């Protein structure tokens, strides 16, 4: 299964039962490997805001992890000043 087919299937499945802390999960019109979603954190201090995320899946997915970028500014030790989450590849 190619990354595009896999990601499209995962998007479809996730949109059917979207977790309460995610809203407006959509893929980029031109590229299913790019998702946009609104994150609603539960715990302080982040629970007072909503954060827009962009998730980019590589063509080698699932063998290589997606990159997650906060397009809404966030102050967090695992997110750099450009909004890049740098710990995801360690967990993959």
Residue-number span of the structural domain to which 57 is assigned: 3-91
- CATH number of the domain enclosing 35: 3.10.110.10
60-77 exposure pattern, b = at least 16 Cβ within 10 A, e = fewer: ebeeeebebebeeebeee
Inter-residue contact 18 to 38 (CB < 8 Å): no
Q: What is the pLDDT of residues 26-40, one digit of tens each?
A: 998 899 999 999 999
Our count of domains for the chain comes to: 1
Residue 28 backbone dihedrals phi, psi, to 5 degrees: -60, 140
Q: What is the pLDDT of residues 26-81, one digit of tens each?
A: 998 899 999 999 999 999 988 889 999 999 999 999 999 999 888 878 767 777 77
Element (H, E) at 26: strand 22-28
């Amino acid at each position: 299964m190619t990354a595009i087919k896999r990601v499209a299937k995962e998007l479809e499945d996730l949109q059917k039962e979207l977790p309460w802390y995610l809203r407006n999960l959509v893929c980029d019109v031109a590229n299913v490997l790019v998702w946009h979603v609104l994150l609603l954190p539960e715990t302080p201090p982040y629970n007072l805001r909503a954060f827009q995320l962009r998730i980019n899946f590589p063509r080698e997915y699932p063998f290589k992890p997606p990159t997650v970028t906060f397009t809404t500014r966030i102050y967090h030790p695992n997110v750099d000043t450009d909004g890049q989450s740098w710990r995801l590849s360690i967990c993959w």
